[in-house]
Structure 1
Amino acid sequence: MLAASVLRLTLPLCWLVAPQPTQPERLFHSRDRSDLEPSPLSQAKPIADLHDAQSFLLKYGWSEIPSPKESAGVPVGFTLAQAVRRFQKANRLPASGELDSPTLAAMNKPRCGVPDTRLPPRAALPTPPALLTSLGLRPRARQKRFLQMLFPKPDGQQEDASDTGASRAFSKKTLTWRLVGDAYSSQLSGDEQRYIFRLAFRMWSEVTPLDFREDRTAPGTMVDIKLGFGRGRHLGCPRVFDGSGQEFAHAWRLGEIHFDDDEHFTPLSSDTGISLLKVAVHEIGHVLGLPHTYRVGSIMQPNYIPQEPAFELDWADRKAIQRLYGSCKGSFDTVFDWIRKERNQYGEVRVRFNTYFFRNSWYWLYENRNNRTRYGDPLQILTGWRGIPTQSIDAYVHVWSWGKDERYFFKGSQYWRYDSENDQAHTEDEQGRSYPKLISEGFPGIPSPLDTAFYDRRQQLIYFFKESLVFAFDVNRNQVLNSYPKKMSQVFPAIMPQNHPFRNLDSAYYSYAHNSIFFFKGNSYWKVVSDKDKQQNTRLPLNGLFPKKPVSEKWFDVCDVHTSTLNM
């Protein structure tokens, strides 16, 4: 399998090699192009015979580069039949080794220009100019160095520590990008292109601790990822685009992404052509360090898969990128399950729930059935929860019993009651008194501001947390229990000595998905001993806290995104 080191960036960046025009005219995105005659699109030459197939297999890493002593186009170490068989197997075709019609059709599919597989060490040998031309490369003095970059050392060989392309991943978490000024597409407006690229970067940011920022002002050498469109020989790049129909883009790991402007790239609203968003997400994956995979459902498949309007990064793609950059971490203001009742087709009432994570002014819906956040999150609290504070919520409590169904948000010295039917905060109570109200008014004896709170249905008590103290509030008598407040470590003792949050919890909530109470502080969580745990081990203390674990190992992909992409 081709590792992302396929594209070792030992060359100067392409835009530094190419002459830089001063203040280039920006067609389309600076003025109306309706009066301009568009240049005709070049068509890629289809792969139709043995010679074409040999060039394809060599170009995309399915066979080995020949040495100068051997005839151009004849693979070394692998026969053509062996190379074809490998390609057929990867593409789920009968592995006959014959260049039949289905195999040629697979070779002619629109695809990414990054090679698919890793080659033996002989791949670094120089290659005859004629063969380079057939591969879509320019026969220049830097060919050998380009081939060494394109076809890297196999696993097990020592990488040169001085090679800036030796690492598969960026060494920093904040990355800048730019659509280069003289390399916009001729088919979409500049605003459309930049919006699509912002969304593509956001999709990777939703599953990694990476922060992508568009930078349109810094010197080009300071921008981490450059994107541009071109045709044929383009942007000073050693690779040559083949025209519409085959290679639609290629990427340089830790550096650049080039799109073939002969392809019919389309915006988000179109169901024809090639989705620029889907291609951009794929190529960004390469820049970040991911190789191709032939796994069904992966965004890193080399071939373009049409008619996937709601595509996203699948579980394996997420785990692959997180092996390079780690998982997302961070504390939460509050976490809770939102309970609702629905009637099925037979009129029976069913209880449903969603889990929400709140941090600063953002929130995530957690899909428990998929064990990950909802695609497209986070969103702004302002847009999803009308009438409550728009950031830094202290606590959420759902008092849910046979006689009550009340939801409260707390912040500072105040609380808000939420109307789940109309999906907005109440403006006044049944007596006409306005919300928000003082916590001391609605919950006498409870201090403010709070750290967090949760409702225990077993005892019909709200537990309020303030620094190292916990207050047990009886919702039926509307008062704090006589023996409270108590130390948190007394009410919720540690199973393992000293393994306890002790004070200043970030959040506490009962999870209906796990039938357990969880405490959150920083990047860690503690699970409270449940009734089921006590039945299985009677020596466990009542409401004891199991040793802490990382939040990111139980709740996945709760990731921040750059503020410029919040409303996409």
Structure 2
Amino acid sequence: QQFLERYGWIQPKDWNNLKYEDVSVPVDEDPAPQDSYVISEGLSQPNSIGSKERDTDPTLSPQYNDALRSFQKANGIQVTGRLDEETKLAMSKPRCGFPDNISGQNAANNESLSNTTSLNDTESSTNNSSTETPPIRRKRFLSRLIQHAQKKRSTQLLGDNPGLGFSKKTLKWRLMKEGYSAQLEEDNQRSALALAFRMWSEVIPLQFEEDTVSPLSEIDIKLGFGKGTHLGCSQAFDGPGKEIAHAWRLGNIHFDDDEHFTVHSSEGLNLLKVAVHEIGHTLGLSHILRPGSVMQPNYTPRDSNFELDWQDRKAIQSIYGVCEGPFKTVFDWVWKSDQTYRFNTYFFRSDRYWMYENRYNRTRYGDPNFITIGWPGVPNSNIDAYVHIFASNRDAQYFFKGTQVWRFDPQRNMAYTEDSYGNRYPKLISDEFPGVSGPVDTAFYDLRTNLIYFFKGNDVTAFSVGRNQIERGYPKRIIDVFPAVTSGDHPIGNLDAVYFSYAHRATFFIKDKFYWKVVGNGDLKYNPTLPYNGLLSQDRVVNKWFDICDVHSSTVFTS
């Protein structure tokens, strides 16, 4: 019964406004003098004579049985309404201290996420009844360290649930000096927490910065380890086992230092996995009662493929929205392995790049990274275009920036300074492709025609690889060579990227947050009246390529 009550199964808990439980309430060191007295009517007490209420078995209560059945159903246990061994085992697992069912003012439930608990509003309702214990002022250092009552926040958010999350796009966090764990090296603690924050930043337009110098009032999320009564918190830890950590929405995160946390070991409790879960609560998520979710309440050992699953991503994006472009360059990198050609898709922006895993519809875990790390020798930022000439008699990869072009050596994984023919790089674009001058907005190689299309402003130039010259009649207007299928629906010019996707077997034009698919052979078979090289109606990039998110520069991997 205590378990069901504590975690909100009998009655949803108002977690952000819980009173001090099993903890001495901090009092002011300089209380106000008792110079006035108020006499009020006392509260009536139940008559104990003849009463059997205290002797009643709580397990016979219909409310208890309903709560137990709900717990069993949510945890995939046979629904018996009895406290059997399987249920006891589920209740005894290490878990988060955040309730499974919480209450609050304007509590919202994202109905599109099956088997999830509600996502609640940031402001919790309070009871102003005169029968409640009046609030007690805390010591000043405690009020700085643990702040359950949050200030009213702006609701101008990117997601569908305004008011559930932080309104800022960059959040500062700090592992408090008085809250370091006695079990782990300081650097290991901070690096694990930084990676945990980064994992959320990889799926939402929110960045996290570790800040160890700013005034405490400017820190958005404070973290710390403690035992039992800890860090001025209203909820005490219970020692080894069971509750391992807890967090507050838009507030702080505490870890039970009586637990055996580890960083680079398969034993004990993995700090990274626990931290990712607790950060989810701080960002506005409730528990997701489904195996595989990082937000399930019970701790499960971390496997090698630990990451946010699809439902975790959709839950947090319902609060903060999704990540959108623009991108500077997009291309498929084709390479040969064991007589088989393979490809990877890359998105470039500024000084960073992402590899996109088309089979999973997501970016590679750990991206973005710096261009200088993955592509040695090419310009370190703002690359204009990439072209891969992939013909029977020529296989060459080029990067373009400004008026120059770099050729890349896939065997040595670095840009050429001089190729096998004695050509030195970088060189002027016009020297490698006569008649074409830079800079260009973007470019792509058309496998069907053996032409390179160079885009600049509202114009496009077709360059014949076979004849090593510009095609007659070019440059032309982009809209004339690639006409709009729907009148008025065309990017016109100043494109960000054009690339052929091997995953989709189609060419895409990308500008700002939108893309246009070029009419292909499959489209013509379905509708022969479509114009050759026509651009189909626009759609948002985020509807085709998911979660290409930036992270704070301090968390970009450097090796």
Deviation for aligned residue 1:310: 3.1
Deviation for aligned residue 1:124: 8.4
Q: Judge conservation of contact 1:64–1:77 (CA < 8 Å) in 2.
A: no
Deviates more, 1:80-89 or 1:325-334: 80-89
Residues 357, 162 of structure 1: alpha-carbon distance in 2 compared, 3 angstrom cutoff: closer
Deviation for aligned residue 1:421: 2.0
Determine the C-alpha separation between the residues in 2 that align with 1:558 and 1:537. Answer: 33
Deviation for aligned residue 1:241: 0.6
Deviation for aligned residue 1:333: 1.2
Asked if 1:95 corresponds to 2:86, the answer is no
Deviation for aligned residue 1:425: 1.6
Instruction: Report matched runs for 1:323-342 at 5 Å.
Output: 323-342=318-337
Deviation for aligned residue 1:76: 11
Deviation for aligned residue 1:467: 1.0
Deviation for aligned residue 1:119: 6.0
Q: Judge conservation of contact 1:248–1:260 (CA < 8 Å) in 2.
A: yes
Determine the C-alpha separation between the residues in 1 that align with 2:516 and 2:258. Answer: 55
User: Which residue does 2:387 correspond to in 1?
Assistant: 397
Deviation for aligned residue 1:81: 2.6
Determine the C-alpha separation between the residues in 2 that align with 1:423 and 1:385. Answer: 7
Residues 418, 163 of structure 1: alpha-carbon distance in 2 compared, 3 angstrom cutoff: closer
Asked if 1:532 corresponds to 2:522, the answer is yes
SS in 2 for 1:277: helix
Q: Judge conservation of contact 1:63–1:75 (CA < 8 Å) in 2.
A: no
User: Which residue does 1:353 correspond to in 2?
Assistant: 343
From 158, 164, 169, the counterpart of 1:168: 164
SS in 2 for 1:182: helix
Matched positions, count: 480
The alignment's TM-score, normalised by the length of structure 1, stands at: 0.80
User: Which residue does 1:109 correspond to in 2?
Assistant: 93
Residues 161, 258 of structure 1: alpha-carbon distance in 2 compared, 3 angstrom cutoff: closer
Q: Judge conservation of contact 1:55–1:73 (CA < 8 Å) in 2.
A: no
Deviates more, 1:497-506 or 1:314-323: 497-506
Determine the C-alpha separation between the residues in 1 that align with 2:293 and 2:230. Answer: 29
Deviation for aligned residue 1:140: 7.4
Deviates more, 1:466-475 or 1:181-190: 181-190
Deviation for aligned residue 1:395: 0.7
SS in 2 for 1:88: helix
Residues 161, 222 of structure 1: alpha-carbon distance in 2 compared, 3 angstrom cutoff: closer
Determine the C-alpha separation between the residues in 2 that align with 1:465 and 1:201. Answer: 39
Asked if 1:305 corresponds to 2:300, the answer is yes
Q: Judge conservation of contact 2:153–2:167 (CA < 8 Å) in 1.
A: no
SS in 2 for 1:297: coil
Determine the C-alpha separation between the residues in 1 that align with 2:186 and 2:327. Answer: 37
User: Which residue does 1:182 correspond to in 2?
Assistant: 178
Asked if 1:212 corresponds to 2:196, the answer is no
Determine the C-alpha separation between the residues in 2 that align with 1:439 and 1:163. Answer: 52
Asked if 1:551 corresponds to 2:541, the answer is yes
Deviations along 1:352-411, whole A, 9 cap, x unmatched?
A: 111011111111110000011011100111111122111111111111122111111111
User: Which residue does 1:455 correspond to in 2?
Assistant: 445
Instruction: Return the letter of the residue paired with 2:333.
Output: W
Deviations along 1:478-507, whole A, 9 cap, x unmatched?
A: 000011000111111112222211111111
User: Which residue does 2:492 correspond to in 1?
Assistant: 502
Determine the C-alpha separation between the residues in 1 that align with 2:350 and 2:153. Answer: 41
User: Which residue does 1:133 correspond to in 2?
Assistant: none
User: Which residue does 1:84 correspond to in 2?
Assistant: 68
Residues 486, 119 of structure 1: alpha-carbon distance in 2 compared, 3 angstrom cutoff: closer
Determine the C-alpha separation between the residues in 2 that align with 1:309 and 1:442. Answer: 46
SS in 1 for 2:178: coil
Deviation for aligned residue 1:73: 9.3
Deviates more, 1:364-373 or 1:535-544: 535-544
User: Which residue does 1:257 correspond to in 2?
Assistant: 253
Instruction: Report matched runs for 1:88-487 at 5 Å.
Output: 88-118=72-102, 167-267=163-263, 269-343=264-338, 349-487=339-477
Residues 218, 77 of structure 1: alpha-carbon distance in 2 compared, 3 angstrom cutoff: farther
Determine the C-alpha separation between the residues in 2 that align with 1:65 and 1:310. Answer: 33
Determine the C-alpha separation between the residues in 2 that align with 1:73 and 1:391. Answer: 70
Determine the C-alpha separation between the residues in 1 that align with 2:355 and 2:370. Answer: 12
SS in 1 for 2:179: coil
SS in 2 for 1:79: helix
Please list every run of 5 or more consecutive structure 1 residues that lacks an aligned counterpart in the other structure. 1-53, 127-138, 144-159, 344-348
Instruction: Return the letter of the residue paired with 1:297.
Output: G
Please list every run of 5 or more consecutive structure 2 residues that lacks an aligned counterpart in the other structure. 14-43, 47-52, 106-123, 137-149, 156-161
Residues 164, 56 of structure 1: alpha-carbon distance in 2 compared, 3 angstrom cutoff: farther
Determine the C-alpha separation between the residues in 1 that align with 2:45 and 2:388. Answer: 75
Instruction: Return the letter of the residue paired with 2:455.
Output: F
Determine the C-alpha separation between the residues in 1 that align with 2:12 and 2:374. Answer: 56
Aligned-pair Cα RMSD in Å? 2.7
Instruction: Return the letter of the residue paired with 2:97.
Output: G
The runs of at least 4 aligned residues of structure 1 exceeding 6 Å deviation read 65-70, 123-126, 160-166
Instruction: Return the letter of the residue paired with 1:107.
Output: M
Determine the C-alpha separation between the residues in 1 that align with 2:102 and 2:306. Answer: 27
Residues 225, 57 of structure 1: alpha-carbon distance in 2 compared, 3 angstrom cutoff: same
Determine the C-alpha separation between the residues in 2 that align with 1:163 and 1:224. Answer: 13
Deviation for aligned residue 1:97: 1.7
Determine the C-alpha separation between the residues in 1 that align with 2:183 and 2:286. Answer: 28
Identity, in percent, stands at: 55
Deviation for aligned residue 1:539: 2.0
Deviation for aligned residue 1:102: 1.9
Q: Judge conservation of contact 2:273–2:302 (CA < 8 Å) in 1.
A: no
Instruction: Return the letter of the residue paired with 2:310.
Output: W
Instruction: Return the letter of the residue paired with 1:90.
Output: A
